[in-house]
């Protein structure tokens, strides 16, 4: 091998391109410009796919792009975003880490890595990354916001308040910071503070739907249900695809047994893209209120699928199966799953009693075939 | 007088005199030549002859022929004496010149000390000795009369006139028939004429005439003596003021000369005497004022061409006699008759001079004009004499010189007399001169003189232009500096006189102003070091500045500042420059300009340096404000202002810059940058000045510290800070700044708003007690009670939150009085409600609620439908029934059978009444109280059903009967429950319809669920959601 290389270098010394030396035509390597064109096309196709939310295509394009140009930090980071959308958080996190390694001063890359780290559940690591990023880019609003959100998540609402306030001083129209600030105040049991900052922000940006939703939540926590509903309704007036607004309208309607309105609100929420367990569960409860047992179960199952840890859904499913459908077997199944998920329930807990009763009924009931 | 004229006629005509006077009238009238032989060779020959003759005399024995040899020897010695004397005179002249040139050092040279003079005296003594020897030793010598004549002549000529005259007389006595007698009489005539013994002279000349005719003599000698004696006789008569006789004699001389001239052998002396006589006749004609006769005589006698010089002589004689009018007349007539004569220019010069003598300014002006017009190059005269360049040159020189002389003389007269007319004439003459002799040596000087005259005459425009011409002619010339300076003074006068300033609103200078600034610039260029240049630069700059041509003005101010930095005007110029930039709002350039000055000499002056520094600060600030800020984004503008405050912390503009920085940062949504600016302004510039200069702490500039401006900036800053904190979701800080503002600036423009905003935030924050105090303060101070209306309502709300019901009731009752018509009902409602919530019983309040409902009825429709009115009427209608409702609920179906029946009927009746009442509540349109009313209706029926079903079995009934009794009661209660359920259902439906998710709805739902178990599934409480986008992956691409 070494000898071959040496020969090649000798030949090149005589006349590169080969034709002069051998008399044969040889294929030339693509010119640099052609390589750049190829990269550009690939990059464009990757971003086009991203734009179209065609995450799989985007994944392939970015992977190829990274293979050709592994030092293209922009491509690496965007690939991470695509991977996030595909749910591959570990690979996404690695991609963002690579992008940050390539460009340590790029706050966007730091933000992306921090975010995906937090989504992966490593809040502590995410906070450390964010704070390191803020040391380099103290004015970066995105980092500051994530910092505030993570501090709150970490149970440090005072620090979250300070961080959110700093973000607001840096960029007063960053209404996400107001939302985080308000939530932090709620955490600190300062609902009035929360309401005040939200009202102040709404005075500046009355059409900021997210702020209205936040204010609605605060008002509801203070017992001002009608005002809270008003804020949610205003939010969906501003943006009729604002899923959180619809979801919360549904929740309030549900509390007051206004099932028709609740069902309508949840429908709008889901049409607006909400696929949260709240939206599915709310829909299920609305159907329950309207005595639509199967539909109720169907939607509650959807909710359970998204929020398997929400064991109360199992109890609700059991109740619906029993009361609306009279399907004791299904009810028993849900209740048994419920108690398995809640082993701490006392032995005389009503659910356990119900299970026993249902089991007893089953035992006492004559099998159809035998009869 | 007459003698003087004679002398002038013969000897005193100077080099500029007439051509015929160029040679002295030395015609040979003497019998014996007087000229000395000055030739060296001749002198040598003479000496040799003297030696030879002396040897010869010594070698011969004395005899008759010895006398002849002595005579010849004496003549040689006499000639030698004359020659030596002349040479001695020449040497003496040279010695005198040298002595003078050497500064008159040493003793003055004397003629007597010269060797040749002594030789001359020696030779003269020899000659005289020899003459006397002949006369003594040879009494019979045949040429004794000649020896005697020569001796007399020698004695007379050598200054011994007395012995000379005696010798002449001796000759007449001893040789009365000698051929030397006529000459002797002529010599004596001359002697008497010289002695002004006119009578003796007349006799002697007459004897000469007579004897020349009587005695036999050579004809030429006769004619010579006759002509001359006659001629001199004319002069004797002339001097005796017998002019006509003199004229006759002269005519006789002329006539005689003509006769003599006709002879072929006419001698030169006769011709000369002829010409002299003709010339001298002019003097006589002049004395006789016989101009016409003279013209007639000369032209007849000599012809037109030859008469010309004699006519000029006549004019000159008039001039010499002071007869200027006659002179003018003569010369004008001559020039008219001989327009192209070479002498014509000189004649015109003489005419002008004569007019000058007559002090006839207009004539002088006209004459000078004619002189220029008629004889300058390209004139007809000039062309007529084109073949004679010498004449042309002479004429040119003459006209130039005469005009120059004339102008100067006139100028001198003007300066002496100070008369305007004289100045005018001098000016005209200078102008005439300059029009034709601009290239002459005098032109430059005369141009200046003329300008001076024009200035003195107050003809400033012309003067200014004349001065300018002088400067342009020679900028290094003697008069350049003075002319340049006076020119600008003249333009200033023109400007002042004519008010020729262009409007200051136009950039174009008037012609006069332009001329003035040009003159100023010229002066500065010519006399850069003159002390006046400072003022001159300033003057020109000022004119440009008046027309807002500041670039032009500044270039001059800058020169002034650069060249005369320590002159007081330099500071003025500097400030003017500053102001000009400022007025043009060219702040950046002003800053650069002032910054450059900082390194120049002018900055060494403390006051100037201070002014420069302040200007740099002002310019820098305004540059940002007017030039840079409009071109940049707000954040960058904020940074510019911030940089300014860092560069100039002590500047009077620093607070304003901080304020502007705050506003721009705020505009850029960078509150994190804006707030420190405002805080620094509020806190730093409120400090007293540092007690020691070394303290590195900023403070307000002295001129601003107590000023309204600074206070205003601080106040505004506080308000802006508060609003920024409010917008940045930091209400606590916002409240703090609002209240600080109100505290520090109790008369501030934003005081009301600050108090109000602070109160609102306090209220929202739940700090009701503080909110109450601030609102009360606001209401106490509010400048506009109308604008304070919302605060009053807000105070009511705060009092409600504080559950200070009595205070709230009082407050609302106060509002009933102050609120506008639409608000009064609302205020009453709130007052009743406060009273209700304060514990007043339903019964106590019933009348008031009914009154409120009645008042609502009287409201106009527009006020009825207002939200508060709706709430008020709903509440009024609802709470007016409250006492009855509580009474009905309190009625229990207990007692005897009869009593139960009675109570049941009564209760039913009251329920029916109340139901109608609650239906009326529904009709008020108030959703909240409508749902409540429906609930109450349901509750009434539910209560009735419960009472009925719970009523005790009468004691008289058996157990079985009791069971039947109770079953019947339950049966009768069922429709009541149905009615209750219906009402609750309606309440729920209304609540759903109106989305009145309140306690009435919740109660209705609960009640309904009791009456219709399973109507509603268990309450499902789902968490309210919110977004958490921070943790969501972006859908858009990330870009670097």
DSSP-assigned letters across all residues of A219-259: HHHTT-HHHHHHHHHHHHHH-TT-HHHHHHHHHHHHHTT-H
pLDDT band at B953 (very low <50, low <70, confident <90, very high): confident
Residue-wise pLDDT for B778-811, tens only, equals 999 887 777 888 899 999 999 999 999 999 999 9
CA distance A82 to A60: 10
Which one of B671, B728, B1026 has the shortest CB-CB distance to A244?
B1026
**What is the structure's pLDDT at B745?**
92
Mean pLDDT, range A127-131, rounded to an integer: 95
Compare all CA atoms of chain A with the CA of B1031 and give the residue at the minimum distance: A115
CA of A351, closest CA in chain B: separation in Å? 15
pLDDT band at B375 (very low <50, low <70, confident <90, very high): confident
Mean pLDDT, range B917-921, rounded to an integer: 91
Q: Indicate the range of A22-31, B85-94, B823-832, B954-963 predicted with least confidence.
A: A22-31
Residue B943 or residue B360, greater confidence: B943
**What is the structure's pLDDT at B157?**
82
Contact A50 B761 (CB under 8 A): no
**What is the structure's pLDDT at B965?**
84
Contact B671 A169 (CB under 8 A): yes
**What is the structure's pLDDT at A122?**
92
The alpha carbon torsion through A251, A253, A254, A255 (nearest 10 deg) reads 90
Residue B5 has pLDDT above 60, yes or no: no
Which site among B722, B764, B1020, B1023 would you substitute to test the A interface, given the most A Cβ atoms closer than 10 Å to its Cβ?
B1020
The alpha carbon torsion through B543, B548, B551, B553 (nearest 10 deg) reads 20
C-alpha R_g of chain B: 70
Separation in Å, CA A242 to CA A236, A277, B955, B1025, B1036: 6, 16, 67, 12, 19
**What is the structure's pLDDT at B708?**
63
Count Cβ atoms within 10 A of the Cβ of residue A181 and give its class: 0-12 exposed, 13-18 middle, 19 or more buried.
Answer: buried
pLDDT band at B501 (very low <50, low <70, confident <90, very high): low
- Measured between its terminal Cα atoms, the distance across chain A in Å is 87
CA distance A285 to B662: 54
**What is the structure's pLDDT at B38?**
58
Residue B426 has pLDDT above 90, yes or no: no
Instruction: Determine contact, residues B144/B137, Cβ cutoff 8 Å.
Output: no
C-beta neighbour count of A318 within 10 angstroms: 28
**What is the structure's pLDDT at B1037?**
56
* Nearest residue to B133 (alpha-carbon basis) of B121, B155, B151: B151
Mean pLDDT, range A95-105, rounded to an integer: 92
**What is the structure's pLDDT at B269?**
63
ipTM: 0.82
Count Cβ atoms within 10 A of the Cβ of residue B99 and give its class: 0-12 exposed, 13-18 middle, 19 or more buried.
Answer: middle
Count Cβ atoms within 10 A of the Cβ of residue A205 and give its class: 0-12 exposed, 13-18 middle, 19 or more buried.
Answer: middle
CB pairs < 8 Å spanning A and B = 180
**What is the structure's pLDDT at A8?**
32
**What is the structure's pLDDT at B588?**
92
Contact B1005 A256 (CB under 8 A): yes
* Nearest residue to B378 (alpha-carbon basis) of B392, B398, B397, B394: B392
Instruction: Determine contact, residues B632/B654, Cβ cutoff 8 Å.
Output: no
CA distance B759 to B768: 9
Mean pLDDT, range B607-633, rounded to an integer: 92
Compare all CA atoms of chain A with the CA of B1020 and give the residue at the minimum distance: A255
Residue-wise pLDDT for A281-309, tens only, equals 999 999 999 999 999 999 999 999 988 88
Instruction: Determine contact, residues B311/B285, Cβ cutoff 8 Å.
Output: no
Residue A339 has pLDDT above 90, yes or no: yes
Contact B1020 A316 (CB under 8 A): yes
Q: What angle do CA B320, B325, B327 make, to 5 degrees?
A: 45
C-beta neighbour count of B820 within 10 angstroms: 9
* Nearest residue to B657 (alpha-carbon basis) of B679, B640, B676, B634: B640
**What is the structure's pLDDT at B59?**
83
Residue A34 or residue A169, greater confidence: A169
**What is the structure's pLDDT at A266?**
95
Report field, pTM of the whole predicted structure over 0.80 = no
Residue-wise pLDDT for B977-992, tens only, equals 999 999 999 999 999 9
Residue B12 DSSP one-character state: -
pLDDT over 90 for what percent of chain B? Answer: 37
pLDDT band at A1 (very low <50, low <70, confident <90, very high): very low
Which string of DSSP letters, residue by residue, matches A171-214? -TT-HHHHHHHHHHHHHTT-HHHHHHHHHHHHHH-TT-HHHHHH
**What is the structure's pLDDT at B722?**
95
**What is the structure's pLDDT at B24?**
29
CA distance A144 to A114: 11
**What is the structure's pLDDT at B711?**
86
B867 part of contact set with chain A, CB < 8 Å: no
CA of A52, closest CA in chain B: separation in Å? 9
Contact B1019 A165 (CB under 8 A): no
Residue A140 has pLDDT above 70, yes or no: yes
In the predicted model, what is the mean pLDDT of chain A? Answer: 86
Mean pLDDT, range B49-54, rounded to an integer: 88
In the predicted model, what is the mean pLDDT of chain B? Answer: 85
Look at the block and give the residue holding tokens 């440009």: B544
Residue-wise pLDDT for B297-338, tens only, equals 999 988 888 899 899 989 988 998 899 999 999 999 999 989
CA distance B124 to A126: 149
**What is the structure's pLDDT at A63?**
93
Residue A368 has pLDDT above 60, yes or no: no
Mean pLDDT, range A1-18, rounded to an integer: 32
Look at the block and give the residue holding tokens 């332009």: B514
Q: Indicate the range of A2-16, A276-290, B179-193, B935-949 predicted with least confidence.
A: A2-16
Contact B728 A168 (CB under 8 A): yes
Find all residues with CB under 8 Å of A245, minimum gap 6, and list them. A209, A212, A213, A216, A232, A233, A235, A236, A239
**What is the structure's pLDDT at B397?**
84
* Nearest residue to B466 (alpha-carbon basis) of B449, B442, B441: B449
The first and second tokens of residue B196, run together, are 């002004």
Residue-wise pLDDT for B93-114, tens only, equals 888 888 888 888 888 888 888 8
**What is the structure's pLDDT at B84?**
86
Contact B997 A256 (CB under 8 A): yes
**What is the structure's pLDDT at B216?**
67
Mean pLDDT, range A158-175, rounded to an integer: 92
**What is the structure's pLDDT at A6?**
31
**What is the structure's pLDDT at B176?**
87
Which site among A103, A178, A186, A257 would you substitute to test the B interface, given the most B Cβ atoms closer than 10 Å to its Cβ?
A257
B189 part of contact set with chain A, CB < 8 Å: no
B1018 part of contact set with chain A, CB < 8 Å: yes
Residue B570 has pLDDT above 80, yes or no: yes
Instruction: Determine contact, residues B821/B789, Cβ cutoff 8 Å.
Output: no
**What is the structure's pLDDT at B11?**
30
**What is the structure's pLDDT at B924?**
86
CA distance B952 to A293: 43
Instruction: Determine contact, residues B341/B308, Cβ cutoff 8 Å.
Output: yes
Find all residues with CB under 8 Å of B742, minimum gap 6, and list them. B748, B751, B754, B755, B758, B777
Residue B657 has pLDDT above 50, yes or no: yes
Residue-wise pLDDT for B200-222, tens only, equals 999 999 999 998 888 766 777 77
CA of A210, closest CA in chain B: separation in Å? 7
**What is the structure's pLDDT at A14?**
31
The first and second tokens of residue B532, run together, are 């006046």
pLDDT band at A173 (very low <50, low <70, confident <90, very high): confident
Residue-wise pLDDT for B119-173, tens only, equals 888 888 888 888 888 888 888 888 888 889 888 988 888 888 899 999 999 999 9
Q: Which residues of A touch B670 (CB under 8 A)?
A: 170-171
Instruction: Determine contact, residues A288/A320, Cβ cutoff 8 Å.
Output: yes
B760 part of contact set with chain A, CB < 8 Å: no
**What is the structure's pLDDT at B15?**
32
Contact B728 A176 (CB under 8 A): no
**What is the structure's pLDDT at B68?**
85
CA of B1008, closest CA in chain A: separation in Å? 11
CA of A14, closest CA in chain B: separation in Å? 46
Instruction: Determine contact, residues A73/B1040, Cβ cutoff 8 Å.
Output: yes
**What is the structure's pLDDT at B621?**
93
């Amino acid at each position: 091998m070494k000898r071959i290389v040496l020969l090649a270098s000798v030949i090149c010394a005589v006349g590169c391109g080969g034709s002069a030396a051998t008399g044969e035509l040889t294929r030339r390597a693509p010119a640099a410009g052609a390589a750049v064109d190829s990269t550009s096309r690939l990059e464009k196709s990757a971003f086009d796919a991203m734009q179209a939310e065609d995450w799989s295509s985007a994944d392939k394009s970015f992977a190829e792009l990274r293979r050709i140009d592994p030092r293209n930090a922009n491509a690496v980071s965007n690939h991470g975003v695509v991977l996030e959308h595909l749910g591959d958080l570990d690979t996404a996190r690695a991609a963002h880490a690579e992008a940050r390694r390539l460009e340590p001063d790029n706050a966007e890359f730091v933000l992306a890595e921090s975010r995906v780290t937090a989504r992966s559940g490593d809040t502590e690591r995410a906070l450390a990354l964010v704070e390191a990023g803020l040391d380099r880019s103290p004015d970066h609003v995105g980092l500051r916001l994530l910092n505030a959100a993570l501090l709150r998540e970490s149970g440090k609402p005072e620090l979250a308040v300070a961080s959110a306030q700093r973000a607001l001083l840096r960029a007063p129209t960053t209404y996400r910071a107001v939302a985080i600030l308000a939530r932090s105040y709620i955490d600190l049991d300062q609902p009035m503070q929360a309401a005040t900052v939200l009202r102040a922000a709404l005075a500046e940006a009355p059409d900021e739907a997210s702020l209205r939703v936040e204010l609605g939540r605060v008002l509801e926590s203070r017992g001002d249900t009608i005002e809270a509903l008003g804020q949610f309704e205003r939010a969906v007036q501003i943006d009729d695809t604002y899923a959180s607004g619809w979801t919360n309208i549904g929740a309030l309607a549900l509390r007051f047994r206004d099932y028709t309105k609740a069902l309508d609100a949840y429908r709008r929420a889901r049409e607006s893209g909400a696929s949260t367990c709240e939206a599915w569960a709310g829909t299920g409860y609305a159907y329950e209120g309207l005595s639509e047992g199967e539909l109720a179960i169907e939607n509650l199952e959807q909710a359970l699928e998204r929020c398997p840890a929400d064991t109360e859904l199992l109890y609700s499913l059991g109740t619906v199966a029993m009361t609306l459908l009279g399907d004791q077997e299904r009810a028993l199944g849900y209740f048994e799953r419920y108690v398995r998920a809640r082993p701490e329930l006392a032995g005389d807990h009503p659910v356990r009693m119900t299970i026993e009763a249902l089991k007893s009924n089953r035992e006492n009931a004559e099998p159809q075939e035998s009869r | 007088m007459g003698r003087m004229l004679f002398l002038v006629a013969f000897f005193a005509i100077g080099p500029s005199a007439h051509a015929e006077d160029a040679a002295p009238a030395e015609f040979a009238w003497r019998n014996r030549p007087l000229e000395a032989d000055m030739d060296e060779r001749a002198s040598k020959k003479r000496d040799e002859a003297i030696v030879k003759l002396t040897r010869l005399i010594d070698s011969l024995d004395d005899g008759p022929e010895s006398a002849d040899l002595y005579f010849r020897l004496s003549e040689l010695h006499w000639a030698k004496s004359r020659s030596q004397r002349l040479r001695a005179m020449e040497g003496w002249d040279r010695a005198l010149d040298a002595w003078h040139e050497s500064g008159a050092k040493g003793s003055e040279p004397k003629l007597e000390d010269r060797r040749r003079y002594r030789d001359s005296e020696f030779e003269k003594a020899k000659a005289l000795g020899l003459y006397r020897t002949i006369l003594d030793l040879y009494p019979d010598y045949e040429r004794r009369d000649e020896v005697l004549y020569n001796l007399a002549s020698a004695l007379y000529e050598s200054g011994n006139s007395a012995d000379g005259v005696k010798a002449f007389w001796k000759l007449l006595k001893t040789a009365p028939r000698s051929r030397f007698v006529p000459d002797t009489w002529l010599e004596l005539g001359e002697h008497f004429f010289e002695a002004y013994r006119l009578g003796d002279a007349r006799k002697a000349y007459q004897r000469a005439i007579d004897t020349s005719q009587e005695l036999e003599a050579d004809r030429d000698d006769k004619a010579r003596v006759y002509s001359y004696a006659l001629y001199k006789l004319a002069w004797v008569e002339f001097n005796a003021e017998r002019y006509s006789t003199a004229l006759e004699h002269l005519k006789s001389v002329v006539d005689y000369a003509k006769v003599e001239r006709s002879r072929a052998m006419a001698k030169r002396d006769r011709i000369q005497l002829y010409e002299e006589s003709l010339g001298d006749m002019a003097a006589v004609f002049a004395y006789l004022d016989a101009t016409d006769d003279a013209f007639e005589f000369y032209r007849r006698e000599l012809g037109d061409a030859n008469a010309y010089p004699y006519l000029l002589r006549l004019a000159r004689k008039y001039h010499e006699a002071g007869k200027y009018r006659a002179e003018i007349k003569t010369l004008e007539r001559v020039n008219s008759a001989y327009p192209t004569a070479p002498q014509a220019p000189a004649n015109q010069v003489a005419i002008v001079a004569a007019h000058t003598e007559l002090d006839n300014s207009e004539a002088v002006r006209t004459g000078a004009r004619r002189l220029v017009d008629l004889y300058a190059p390209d004139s007809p005269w000039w062309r007529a004499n084109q073949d004679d360049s010498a004449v042309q040159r002479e004429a040119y020189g003459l006209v130039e010189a005469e005009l120059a002389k004339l102008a100067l003389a006139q100028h001198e007269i003007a300066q002496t007399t100070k008369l305007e007319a004289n100045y005018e004439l001098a000016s005209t003459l200078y102008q005439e001169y300059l029009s034709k002799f601009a290239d002459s040596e005098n032109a430059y000087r005369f141009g200046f003189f003329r300008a001076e005259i024009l200035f003195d005459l107050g003809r400033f425009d012309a003067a200014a232009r004349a001065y300018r011409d002088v400067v342009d002619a020679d900028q290094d010339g003697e008069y350049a500096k003075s002319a340049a300076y006076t020119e600008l003074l003249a333009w200033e006068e023109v400007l002042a006189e004519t008010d020729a300033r262009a409007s200051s609103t136009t950039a174009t200078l008037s012609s006069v102003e332009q001329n003035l600034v040009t003159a100023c610039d010229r002066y500065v260029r010519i006399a850069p070091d003159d002390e006046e240049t400072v003022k001159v630069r300033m003057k020109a700059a000022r004119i440009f500045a008046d027309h807002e041509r500041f670039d032009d003005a500044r270039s001059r101010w800058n020169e002034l500042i650069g060249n005369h930095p320590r002159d007081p005007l330099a500071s003025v110029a500097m400030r003017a420059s500053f102001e000009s930039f400022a007025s043009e709002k060219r702040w950046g350039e002003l800053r650069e300009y002032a910054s450059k000055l900082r390194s120049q000499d002018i900055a060494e002056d403390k006051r100037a340096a201070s002014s420069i520094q302040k200007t740099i600060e002002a310019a820098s600030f305004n540059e940002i404000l007017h030039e840079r800020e409009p071109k940049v984004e707000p954040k960058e503008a904020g940074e510019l202002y911030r940089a300014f405050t860092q560069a100039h912390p002590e500047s009077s503009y620093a607070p304003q810059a901080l304020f502007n920085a705050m506003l721009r940062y705020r505009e850029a949504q960078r509150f994190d940058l804006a707030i420190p600016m405002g805080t620094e302004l509020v806190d730093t510039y409120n400090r007293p000045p540092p007690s020691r200069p070394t303290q590195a702490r900023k403070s307000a500039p002295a001129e601003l510290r107590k000023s309204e401006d600074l206070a205003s900036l601080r106040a505004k800053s506080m308000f802006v800070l508060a609003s920024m904190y409010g917008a940045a979701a930091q209400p606590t800080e916002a409240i703090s700044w609002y209240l600080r503002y109100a505290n520090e600036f109790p008369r501030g423009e934003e005081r009301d708003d600050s108090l109000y905003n602070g109160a609102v935030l306090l209220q929202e924050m739940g700090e009701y007690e503080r909110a109450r105090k601030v609102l009360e303060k606001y209401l106490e101070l509010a400048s506009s009670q109308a604008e304070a209306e919302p605060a009053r309502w807000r105070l009511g709300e705060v009092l409600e939150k504080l559950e200070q019901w009595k205070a709230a009731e009082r407050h609302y009752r106060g509002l009933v009085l102050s609120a506008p018509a639409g608000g009064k009902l609302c205020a009453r409602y709130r007052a009743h409600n406060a009273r209700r919530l304060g514990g007043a019983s339903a019964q106590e309040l019933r009348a008031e609620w009914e009154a409120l409902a009645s008042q609502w009825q009287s409201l106009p429709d527009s006020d009825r439908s207002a939200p508060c009115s709706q709430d008020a009427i709903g509440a009024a209608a609802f709470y007016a029934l409250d006492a009855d409702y509580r009474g009905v609920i309190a009625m229990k179906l207990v007692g005897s059978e009869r009593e139960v029946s009675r109570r049941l009927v009564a209760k039913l009746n009251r329920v029916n009444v109340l139901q109608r009442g609650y239906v009326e509540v529904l009709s008020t349109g108030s959703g909240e109280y409508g749902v409540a009313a429906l609930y109450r209706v349901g509750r009434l029926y539910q209560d009735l059903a419960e009472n009925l079903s719970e009523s005790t079995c009468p004691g008289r009934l058996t157990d079985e009967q009791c069971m039947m009794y109770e079953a019947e009661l339950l049966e009768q209660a069922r429709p009541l429950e149905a009615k209750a359920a219906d009402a609750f259902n309606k309440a729920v439906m209304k609540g759903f319809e109106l989305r009145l998710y309140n306690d009435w709805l919740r109660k209705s739902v609960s009640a309904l669920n009791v009456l219709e178990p399973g109507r509603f599934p268990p309450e499902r409480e789902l968490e309210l959601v919110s977004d958490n986008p921070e943790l969501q992956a972006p859908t858009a691409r990330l870009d670097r």
